[in-house]
Amino acid sequence: MPTPRAALYGWTRNNASSSSSVSFTRTDRDRLTPGNVRYDSVSDDGDEAAVTVPMAEFEARACRNT
């Protein structure tokens, strides 16, 4: 039987901004600790990988206007 997965997606009330979704298993969720963020990182060549990083690294890498 496949491992159940959940997905999380975020947006603003007026739909001015949104995020892409990130999927995860219970095991992924249980590995999260306070101060860490899990997201799908996309490389320059388009490869996607789920990564878990400290909040400061997430803000530096993923929370920038491009």
**DSSP structure string for the chain:** -PPP-EEE--B-TTSS-B---EEE-HHHHHH--TTEEEEEEE-TTS-EEEEEEEHHHHHHHTSS--
pLDDT of residue 44: 86
Q: Is the whole model's pTM more than 0.85, yes or no?
A: no
pLDDT band at 36 (very low <50, low <70, confident <90, very high): very high
pLDDT digits (tens, 9 = 90+) for 5-35: 898 888 889 988 888 788 889 998 898 999 9
